[in-house]
Amino acid sequence: MFSERIERLTGSLIREILALTQREGVISFAGGLPAMEAMPELDLAQAPQELRQYGTTEGEPSLRARIATDLSRLGRSCAADQVLVTAGSQQGIDLASKLFVDPGTPVLIEAPSYLAAIQSFRLFGARFIALPLSPQGIDPAALRAEIARQRPAFAYLIPTFQNPSGYCYSEATRLEVARVLDNARVPLIEDEPYRELNYKHVDHVPICAHLKAAPWIYLGSLSKTGMPGLRIGYAAASPDLVPLLVRLKQSADLHTNRLGQWWADRFLRNPDYPAHLERLRASYRARRDAMAAALDRHFRDFARWEVPAGGLFFWVQLNRPLDSRVLLKKALDRNVAFMPGEPFFPDDDRPRGFLRLNFSHADDEAIEHGIRILGQVVRSCLD
Amino acid sequence: MFSERIERLTGSLIREILALTQREGVISFAGGLPAMEAMPELDLAQAPQELRQYGTTEGEPSLRARIATDLSRLGRSCAADQVLVTAGSQQGIDLASKLFVDPGTPVLIEAPSYLAAIQSFRLFGARFIALPLSPQGIDPAALRAEIARQRPAFAYLIPTFQNPSGYCYSEATRLEVARVLDNARVPLIEDEPYRELNYKHVDHVPICAHLKAAPWIYLGSLSKTGMPGLRIGYAAASPDLVPLLVRLKQSADLHTNRLGQWWADRFLRNPDYPAHLERLRASYRARRDAMAAALDRHFRDFARWEVPAGGLFFWVQLNRPLDSRVLLKKALDRNVAFMPGEPFFPDDDRPRGFLRLNFSHADDEAIEHGIRILGQVVRSCLD
């Protein structure tokens, strides 16, 4: 009765987890929710009436121009007509799946990688080539070998403050990865929603800025720096891909909501924008440090982690590969939630003993309280 | 390099047409744009700050409840948790394609049918079973025969003020179509963006209201009665389909923008809503009548049409099956645009001599002027 892709439709576990975390009294380290108190005000009094009418599939010209300028400043020379405004960067992943993935198509990803990207690629039938991720990024030699052996349709990478690991590719790795992709003409899908959430100075350019021959799609989001409820993201792309992405977008929803685009344009052009980012970084840096201190107090005996230089997550590896989905059930009994690590690997059945802990949403007190309880839960399972 | 579906990606013709119609001085009967002057005011001063945060994939509870109530009043008993708020009803079509269509999947549609639905189903690989459409609807006996012969994955129907034809299924046809679908358990996708735009009293219930056994998806939109720029539509569905649609939606964009949902909920609950609809109908009825009079003056010798009881379009058939795409080029030279009829048929290569003329966007004077010029263009091609 249904399409064959429906057999590959996943997501219920995560949906159930996130639903549980909404319960009154639960301290949640599960989602990637920005802090309400760190968001800009929603001020729409100036919104012009023209926004009521249908807009263009590509997006509002002024916003596209601004995004192109920002990306060019980052080193990725880009014209406004290479930018497509999307319904969050998630839609960019959906469009990329449609563009590249048939049943059986080999797709190269990091292991671990962003859960909802894995789900989207899988839905369309991807066969995953998963490269292990270290704090410096993937191994370019391994990338070259897998490309030669399996010829993936594209490489999906999150080089800056990766979700879930928080890792940030070194400049040397970026250059070498770009060289490998260029030589083989393998398209890059580079997902960077966390780039601006840096807690120490990081000036690595996007990998796509180093590309000279390979096609690329660069995904960005206003959800982490601005407000996610408006659903504004973007896909910038090499000129060969843009017309295809635009037509896929047209078929998906005609265009992105114009009110959110208008707000996003004003937000990015506001003279206060750099100061807003600094305030946001200061706020999240403090929470990251609070969680680092709490983990030191309550997890040091049985786990290890890197303190992330940016992003929204700690990626905690237990010394024994417990099934963190089992841990989650016990933690929820005590009103603490986190994201189990297993679903971030394309083969998500094997217990791996990873926990993804978000530090942006709970306040300092809740962080200390929640990490203490979570530590007790883990310890009781290790004994 | 790309997925095989990209070979089936269409849409450039229409995009080019719509781009041309944006030129200064062009009178456009091409799009399905609502009139700005008939839209409600965009007033967002009361929008609460909570809307900034991520929302649920299903949509805002209050809006879902309101839509369920309205649909239940129409005769289709429906609970709030059967409603999924979407990015326009176009997204409902994308989700339905993902749910049902693999390469080669037989899909039953009306001929003609909504262009962007044809494009979406085709993108996913649909093989079309096209039933001729008359002013009373499709022939239920033909529907039964094609179901028996080809077993389509679903029937996609636009029974009320169809796009492009403007036709409205009779009550008898609705009942009989429902019976045929029920007996064969063939899912119905019922697309009704134009239901409220009725210019004489029509109280036909949706076909899905008559279903007792077949799965169904009912697509609605706020774009025609409210404002399209916010991109708010919905998919209500039988309980067996809802969890699948929700997970497909999650993978597509996480959720629909919350500001538009908030506005839509207030709009539907505003005590002025019924009066707004009456004003809108009066305004569009007058434009429909202006176009009917202009067609009588300038098209009577060489074409025929029905005056539509609702919706936004005249569907004009020339007495000779000219290629209306050729006509369009000549009309654009004289600064008048319309939508050629050919792409509304799944086999869009054969010249058919149909023009779709929108009457909601141009004012009375532009309607008379544009139809007069268009009549001259057609006549010169017929001579």
Does the pLDDT value for residue A38 go beyond 80? yes
Interface contact flag, B253 A91, Cβ < 8 Å: yes
Task: Give domain status of residue B246, yes or no.
Answer: yes
Domain boundary among B241, B269, B297: B269
Say whether both B214 and B278 belong to one domain. no
Per DSSP, A325 falls in state H
Say whether both B9 and B24 belong to one domain. yes
Task: Give domain status of residue B279, yes or no.
Answer: yes
Say whether both B164 and B289 belong to one domain. no
B116 interfacial to chain A (CB closer than 8 Å): yes
Q: What is the CATH number of the domain that holds A334?
A: 3.90.1150.10
Across the interface, of A31, A87, A258, the residue whose CB is closest to B229 is: A258
Domain that holds residue B98: 49-269
Cα–Cα distance for residue pair B76/B278, rounded to 1 Å: 23
B217-241 pLDDT per residue, tens: 999 999 999 999 999 999 999 999 9
Cα–Cα distance for residue pair B150/B162, rounded to 1 Å: 24
Helical axes A324-333 vs A12-21, angle rounded to 10°: 20
Task: Give domain status of residue A330, yes or no.
Answer: yes
Does the pLDDT value for residue B15 go beyond 90? no
Q: What is the pLDDT of residue A179?
A: 98
Q: What is the pLDDT of residue B265?
A: 98
Does the pLDDT value for residue A332 go beyond 80? yes
Give the nearest chain A residue to B186 (CA atoms): A1
Task: Give domain status of residue A44, yes or no.
Answer: no
CA angle, A245 as apex, A244 and A249 as ends, to 5°? Answer: 120
A254 interfacial to chain B (CB closer than 8 Å): yes
Per DSSP, B137 falls in state B
Mean pLDDT (chain A, rounded): 95
Q: Residue A19: pLDDT band by 50, 70, 90 thresholds? A: confident
A151 interfacial to chain B (CB closer than 8 Å): no
Interface of B with A in 266-305 (CB under 8 A): none
User: Considering only CB atoms, which chain A residues are within 8 Å of B94?
Assistant: 251-253
Q: What is the CATH number of the domain that holds A253?
A: 3.40.640.10
Say whether both B116 and B265 belong to one domain. yes
Say whether both B190 and B321 belong to one domain. no
- Cβ-based neighbours of B120, under 8 Å, separated by 6 or more: A251, B90, B93, B94, B97
Interface contact flag, A259 B12, Cβ < 8 Å: no
Say whether both A24 and A93 belong to one domain. no
Domain boundary among B269, B284, B309: B269
Does the pLDDT value for residue A30 go beyond 80? yes
Does the pLDDT value for residue B348 go beyond 70? no
Residue that is written with structure tokens 């269409």 in the block: B10
* Residue type at B4 in one-letter notation: E
Q: Is there a cis peptide before residue B206, judged by omega within 30 degrees of 0?
A: no
* Residue type at B148 in one-letter notation: A
Across the interface, of B42, B90, B259, the residue whose CB is closest to A254 is: B90
Tokens for A334, please give them.
């005590």
DSSP result, B163-175 = TTT-----HHHHH
Mean pLDDT (chain B, rounded): 95
Domain boundary among A269, A291, A319: A269
B106-157 pLDDT per residue, tens: 999 999 999 999 999 999 999 999 999 999 999 999 999 999 999 999 999 9
Say whether both B144 and B15 belong to one domain. no
Q: What is the pLDDT of residue A32?
A: 86
Q: What is the pLDDT of residue B4?
A: 95
Say whether both B81 and B227 belong to one domain. yes
User: What 3-state class would DSSP assign to B310?
Assistant: strand
Enumerate the β-bridge partners of residue A188: A155, A216
Interface contact flag, B257 A119, Cβ < 8 Å: no
Say whether both B99 and B222 belong to one domain. yes
Q: What is the pLDDT of residue B14?
A: 67
Listed residue (B219, B214, B194) closest to B204, CA to CA: B194
Query: How many domains is chain B partitioned into structurally?
Result: 2
User: What 3-state class would DSSP assign to B28?
Assistant: strand
Tell me whether strands B188-191 and B127-132 are parallel, antiparallel or unpaired. Answer: unpaired
Dihedrals phi, psi of A325, to nearest 5 degrees? -70, -35
Q: What is the pLDDT of residue B12?
A: 61
Across the interface, of B6, B47, B119, the residue whose CB is closest to A44 is: B47
Does the pLDDT value for residue B20 go beyond 80? no
Q: What is the pLDDT of residue B347?
A: 80
- Contact call for residues B188 and B154 (beta carbons, < 8 A): yes
How many CB atoms are closer than 10 A to CB A44?
Answer: 17
* Residue type at A78 in one-letter notation: C
B91 interfacial to chain A (CB closer than 8 Å): yes
Q: Count of A–B CB contacts within 8 Å?
A: 211
Task: Give domain status of residue A74, yes or no.
Answer: yes
Helices and strands of chain A, counted as H and E runs: 11, 13
Tokens for B267, please give them.
């709009």
Say whether both B77 and B219 belong to one domain. yes
Interface of B with A in 169-198 (CB under 8 A): 187
DSSP result, A118-187 = HHHHHHTT-EEEEEE-BTTBS-HHHHHHHHHHH--S-EEE--SS-TTT-----HHHHHHHHHHHHHHT--
User: Considering only CB atoms, which chain B residues are within 8 Å of A10?
Assistant: 247
Interface contact flag, A90 B253, Cβ < 8 Å: yes
User: What 3-state class would DSSP assign to B287?
Assistant: helix
- Contact call for residues A100 and A121 (beta carbons, < 8 A): no
Q: Residue A348: pLDDT band by 50, 70, 90 thresholds? A: low
Say whether both A215 and A309 belong to one domain. no
- State how far residue B38 is from chain A, nearest Cα, in angstroms: 11
Q: Per-residue pLDDT averaged across B81-88, rounded?
A: 98
Q: Per-residue pLDDT averaged across A335-361, rounded?
A: 92
Task: Give domain status of residue B44, yes or no.
Answer: no
Say whether both B170 and B302 belong to one domain. no
C-alpha neighbours within 13 Å on the C-beta side of residue B312:
24
- State how far residue A260 is from chain B, nearest Cα, in angstroms: 8
Q: What is the pLDDT of residue A11?
A: 66
A75 CB-contact burial (10 Å; exposed 0-12 / middle 13-18 / buried 19+): middle
- Contact call for residues B173 and B142 (beta carbons, < 8 A): no
Interface of B with A in 194-223 (CB under 8 A): 223
Does the pLDDT value for residue A374 go beyond 90? yes
How many CB atoms are closer than 10 A to CB A381?
Answer: 17
User: Considering only CB atoms, which chain B residues are within 8 Å of A243?
Assistant: 12
Interface contact flag, B49 A41, Cβ < 8 Å: yes
Interface of B with A in 1-20 (CB under 8 A): 1-6, 9-12, 15
